[in-house]
Structure 1
């Protein structure tokens, strides 16, 4: 090959080299540069040739580059990195190799080869940042080799090691299955394997095991990593320990379905099981039985001994009920002191009676709580969800609870500590109560309630001394509804408060006119419900009514039953004292049928007692009732209390009461309860009779005087 050909070859290699190639003279001036160099420095060859290399460098880089340049001049080949400053002001990172060019062992020029490594450095920085991020990540990061059969781990970060308790050398080269254990969900494992096999992303929550054997919940995301050809080369997994979150979720889920006090399923969990067990029972032709258990007189335990003692009793009750039931049955705390039992697999429905009786026996055993020994009983309602047994029994699962509840209510009415089975007649009774309650509300709104008044007379003279206001319900279709029907209902529903307030106001509105008609002062007695009595602003209500109608307090008499002392004895005494301080009279109604404690009677701030009609009914035949009646009257008088006998229906009864020096009498023998207009006529007639009697006596006295004269 000729020297010219060889020179051309080298020149082409110089000009077409992809990297920047240039030569420097001994002083550092550029003597040649290829096209790549021109492109790097953003200028043509004329802007480079003859220029010193330092013109294309940053000031702070020059000392280091001079050092390498001098080493090359000394005959050494050097490699280093620096930065190139283009004519347009841009800066590129470059890697330079300087070679000495020698002739006859003498360096005459320095040959330079530069390579733009800006992108390479950026990629390296990104990789470094990524590596640091993975190392510092709070989540575990693992990388598995997808090209190998068992996908062994080739990288794990510190968070993964901390999460699992393993050292790095214990996991590198192993498949991740070493984290699995006996409680790991096989279905979740199959999902992971399918994702790896199909080379697609997988996201699962899996139960894993640490090195020490403890479990942790792992939120795992696996993603495939592909090369430039689309082939999956690796799998990267991001793991997060979510054990605490799962624990919280499980606790919340447990709390949403269980009673926190007893640990029993709650109402919602019971209803879900009821629906499920009912479906199964119907498929197999079996019945589902529900027991509705309500503790008798549990409230006084809370009130007298405190809720802490009450809670311990409820926990003991729950334990005792669970002793009776079989595997597959369900006990739930329904509400307060109410429990439900679900019996889903009885061979015979009658077996529920045996279970219920065992529960009653367990509950009635004494409870030792601290220093207290307590005794309680329960009322149990039983209902069966069985098709074909009773066509009136609703097969819907939730209806069985309602039916058992209605049966329990009947058990309460039957005297408590007993068991009552549901029947269709109970539904009819309860439906009647619902209808009656709704119509009673409508009656209050539309003014269908009215007051009737029953006179009260002086036992010696039969003179009218007062009246009792009695509420009556005149139903537009049913006519007069007995107070014995709707008053107990109103007491249970709370409607008695509105009714009682209306009666008090209506009676006070009529007092003045009644007194004018009578021509003398008399009192109106108004019955007060225990619910009214316990209201916080009851005294204010009385004061307001007296002020509204400008009434002297002694014109009003409030009749309260002995039941007001059962809920809160101290409050009852306090309220009675406040009423007496107002000047309003107070009488104990139905005396002898309720509390009837003589020790309390001597301390009660009341004016009179009203002996219940049950003591009056038999006094003409029953000597024991007669003796009791005489004793009550005598005792009351010793306590400076007046006595009213209600329910007097015969002259013989009235005579006996007069002999016992009873103060006042009330009953059908004198007058029945009557509307206000009839009461005014009754009073007018009584005044006329009194006037006629008075004139006759005067005339008789006058006749005797003339005869004597």
Structure 2
């Protein structure tokens, strides 16, 4: 390094002149790379930190122009701006990418100062710089976390909102149409609750990949949270384009998934809103797609629905009903309960005696009055409210059974419907044991009914739980049999005692040969497996006679009685007992 052109500076406090040796050590031992060039911008000195950072020794660069370090990433405009700043302000600093001796490029923060002599003419340029690779990586990681979903690496809600707003501005400027699809996975909550969050997370990652592969590179796929995804198609010819993509997504997502040792299935319910017809604001488009998605759920799931204005009304009503349901469940107490169990008798076809009662949940809302179970049970299952509500049903059913026993009715079993979430909840066995003990009941006093579709979800887990319930001595039944896709090979391994023939086959048994054939085959199948057959929905004498002829063991339906509250049920049972004596 050349000696200073001016006398060494003096420290004002100590009156202590800084020697050239001290300046040299500061220069050489600096952790920042320092490069000095002359007025012609030829390198005349470089410190040890420069060598460590670039790989070049001082001897290799002295006499060279600093451009030997350039990576080629910056264009003429960049360097023109740099020299303009040096000319005006004698200084420039900023980020620049350079190349090391080994050819690798890296980002650095560069500060250049102009040194002038006593005449004000440029004598040197002094540059000092540091490698900022680590800080840039950290910044890039923070940006990734801020705008991308950690699990799936798709854009998150924040990025989605920004990109959607930009896409809408482009559509407005260029007169294009846009489709927004809100996608919710069917049955995901059951998988997550049953197999754990790790399995659920892996499933979400696979779904994300399939969604990305189902659309164009220019389309936006994002995860809003949970099992909700969104797809934005910024350039479509019309609704038919969106429908075509939705069909493609349905097929892709519905294919089976291997997660560890588990073979899983899920399907998408898709709601679609269109710009500009269904809204020009991001929030409105998303809300309308959400309404359409719930319509897809109500239409049977695994389908797509386009938004229509009437859906907002239905969605608003559903939200209000959900809020009312939450309030009703949270406020359950002996003094205040909007729920009740109505009981429907089950009649033995041979003796005509009442051998069982099915407990059917009813809700009387202060706002809506009597709400159909078809409405509120579906909402409870979607929102997870079915768990606390189902727990109440078990306790209430046991209480009612105890009451029947106190009135001398000790030969009638009470059947309780169990949801998929309840069946796989870790506390189910303890809950049932506690309720039975509390009301001094035997396991044989109750029967648990599981729908065919529930039994077929995760068969290994279902079999394990049913085995434990059966070992307790509890009667088990498959409800709605014939509406699902049971494997007979699997069915014979379940520890069940009863098959309940779905009412849809009983309704037209007298006029529809197919229904008659299904009933005949099912009763024969059940008996061959040693099971008792129960037919639901029996409403006419002709249906009773037909089913009795086929050998059906137990009948249930309006022909005998509608579901009744406890007092009416008790009177009915006493009347039946008196008539048989």
**TM-score with structure 2 length normalisation?**
0.82
Query: Which residue number in structure 1 is paired with residue 25 of structure 2?
Result: 132
- Distance change in 2, residues 1:419/1:575 (3 Å): closer
2:161 paired residue among 265, 268, 271:
271
Could you tell me which of 560, 563, 566 is aligned with 2:450?
A: 560
Aligned to 1:196: 86
1:449 counterpart = 2:339: yes
Following superposition, the deviation at residue 550 of structure 1 comes to: 1.1
What secondary structure does 1:563 align onto?
helix
Alignment equivalent of 2:383, drawn from 474, 490, 493: 493
Supply the distance in 1 between the matched residues of 2:496 and 2:107 (Cα, whole angstroms). Answer: 71
SS at match of 2:530: coil
Question: Which protein, 1 or 2, shows the higher relative CO under an 8 Å CA cutoff with sep ≥ 6?
Answer: 2
- 220-229 or 602-611, larger mean C-alpha shift: 220-229
- 2:465 is aligned to 575
Alignment of 1:597-676 (within 5 A): 597-676=487-566
Distance 2:569 2:270 in 1: 49
Deviations 1:402-447 (A, max 9, x none): 4335435545665677543222233332222222111111122252
Q: Does 1:423 align with 2:316?
A: no
**Contact kept? 2:477, 2:496, Cα under 8 Å:** yes
- Checking the alignment, whether the CA contact within 8 Å between 2:151 and 2:201 is kept in structure 1 is no
CA deviation digits over 1:533-583, x for unaligned, max 9? 011121111101111111122111111111232222122112112112212
Q: Does 1:207 align with 2:207?
A: no
Residues 321 and 331 in structure 1, CA contact (< 8 A), matched pair in contact too: no
Secondary structure of residue in 1 paired with 2:407? helix
Cα distance in 2 between the residues matched to 1:437 and 1:374: 29
Q: Secondary structure of the equivalent of 1:560?
A: strand
Q: 1:669 offset after TM fit, Å?
A: 1.3
Q: Between Structure 1 and Structure 2, how many residues are aligned?
A: 557
Q: What residue number does 2:210 align with?
A: 317
Cα separation, 2, equivalents of 1:361 and 1:523: 45
SS at match of 2:544: helix
What is the match of residue 27 of structure 1?
none
Residues 414-563 of structure 1: pairs in structure 2 closer than 5 A:
419-444=304-329, 445=331, 447-563=337-453
- Asked if the contact 1:500/1:529 (under 8 Å) is kept, the reply is yes
Q: What secondary structure, in the 3-state scheme, does the structure 2 residue paired with 1:605 have? A: coil
| SS, match of residue 473 in structure 1 | strand
Corresponding residue of 1:96: none
Contact 1:185–1:206 under 8 Å retained in 2: no
Unaligned 5+ residue runs, structure 1? Answer: 1-118, 695-709
Local SS of the residue matching 1:221: strand
RMSD value over aligned CA atoms? 4.1
Counterpart selection for 1:142 from 15, 25, 35: 35
Deviation (angstroms), 1:640: 2.9
Give me the whole-angstrom Cα distance separating, in 2, the residues matched to 1:536 and 1:376: 23
Paired residue secondary structure (1:649): coil
Separation in 2, partners of 1:127, 1:239: 22
Report the CA distance between 1:144 and its aligned residue: 4.5
Q: Does 1:344 align with 2:265?
A: no
**Match of residue 400 from structure 1:** 285
State the alpha-carbon separation in 1 of the partners of residues 473 and 244 from structure 2.
Answer: 59
Assess, with a 3 A threshold, how the Cα gap between structure 1 residues 364 and 668 changes in structure 2: closer, same or farther. closer
1:245 matched residue in structure 2? 135
CA spacing shift, 1:415–1:653, aligned 2, 3 Å: closer
Where does residue 116 of structure 1 map in the other structure? Answer: none
Q: TM-score if structure 1 supplies the norm length?
A: 0.68
Q: CA deviation at 1:522?
A: 1.6
Is contact 1:458–1:464 with CA below 8 Å preserved after alignment? yes
Following TM superposition, by how much is the alpha carbon of 1:320 offset from its aligned partner in structure 2, in angstroms? 3.7
Q: Distance in 1 between matches of 2:434 and 2:117?
A: 91
Q: Deviations over 1:320-351 (max 9, x none)?
A: 435xx37x543446668875443334465654
Give, in whole Å, the separation in 1 of the partners of 2:565 and 2:455.
32
Is residue 288 of structure 1 aligned with residue 178 of structure 2? Answer: yes
The 10-residue stretch of structure 1 (468-477 or 334-343) with the greater mean CA deviation from structure 2? 334-343
1:611-644 per-residue CA deviation (whole Å, 9 max, x = no partner) reads 2212221223334433432343343334332222
Deviation at 1:508, TM superposition (A): 0.7
- Mapped to 2, the partners of 1:471 and 1:307 lie a distance apart of 31
**Other structure's SS at 1:550 match:** coil
Deviations 1:459-480 (A, max 9, x none): 2332222221111011113221
Unpaired runs of 5+ in structure 2?
A: 1-12
**Could you say if the C-alpha distance between residues 576 and 426 of structure 1 is closer, same or farther in structure 2, counting changes exceeding 3 Å?**
same
